[in-house]
Structures are given as structure tokens and as C-alpha cells.
Structure 1
């Protein structure tokens, strides 16, 4: 996926996050917020946006558990795996080739 496409996906998922927050004040996206990366920060690397998407996806899936508990658990687990993988790739990239 190109960086522009990842940023568009990040923006779409961010809108879903905001919708969850507006509907339920108890929903917290603390891991995503700790990343301090928003879809509007186009200067961030492609890999950073990819990582943010997976973290956000995991937390959205966790927020969905009231709607569909079994499916959201599997989605959250997979997003967590992908988030860890991209985090490792970011840390191992000495040349910052994902910019």
C-alpha cells in the first residue's frame, strides 16, 4: 500500500474511533493516543502510520466487544500481532527506509 493510501485508511479508522468516543464516553483508546500520531501528520513515516492503524484497529475491535464478543476478540488479537510486528520493523530499520 502506498503512503497516501495508508494515511486515508488511518483517517477513516480515526473517524470510527471518534464515533465510538461520541457514542460511549467509557471507550478509551489509550494505546493509540500514546503513539502521538494522527492521520493529519503526513510528515510521519509510512511505517508509523501503518503501526498506528494496527494499534487503532486493535482498540476499535476491543470497543466492539459489546456488539460481537467472539469476532472482535479475534480481530483485536490479530491487530495486536500486526502492531507488534510493525513496531519491531520500525525499531530494526537503521536507514529509515519506510519514510
Structure 2
């Protein structure tokens, strides 16, 4: 994957995170992602740094989705 494509993916994942946080009215903890200090707009950062950021962001999103998925669902129909 080219650096430009990786930056684009990074931006898309950031939008997914922001949209999810708005819809669920919650904050996703991204300590690992935040510590890296790489944002989609950090075009001066290396491809490797963006790759680490993409993986950290994706792991944070999927971890949050697993927590939500584990919550019990009522058996009542809507």
C-alpha cells in the first residue's frame, strides 16, 4: 500500500471513530493511538508511523465494538 493510500485509510478510520462516538454518545479510549502522535493530517510522518497509527486506531475501534457486542440484548420485540 502506498503512503497516500495509507493516509487516506487513516482519515477514514478517524471519521468512523468520530461518527461512532457521536452516535453512541461515548468516547473510545485510544491511549496507544494518542501516544503515537500521528494524525491523518500529519503528512510529514513516515509511512511506517501511519501504519502503526492505523493499526492502533483500528484496534481501539474493534475493542469498543466488542464491548458493546457483549452487552445483553433484550428478548422483547420492537
CA distance in 1: counterparts of 2:16 and 2:59, whole angstroms: 12
Aligned to 2:11: 11
Q: Where does structure 1 lack aligned partners over 5 or more consecutive residues? A: 70-99
Aligned residues: CA RMSD? 1.3
Q: Where does structure 2 lack aligned partners over 5 or more consecutive residues? A: 71-78
Count of residues paired in the alignment: 68
TM-score if structure 1 supplies the norm length? 0.62
Q: Which of the two has higher C-alpha Rg?
A: 2
Task: Please identify which structure carries the higher helix content.
Answer: 1
TM-score if structure 2 supplies the norm length? 0.78
Q: Extract structure 1 runs of 4+ deviating beyond 4 A.
A: none
CA distance in 2: counterparts of 1:41 and 1:26, whole angstroms: 22
Which structure would you say has the larger RCO, counting Cα contacts within 8 Å and 6 or more residues apart? 2
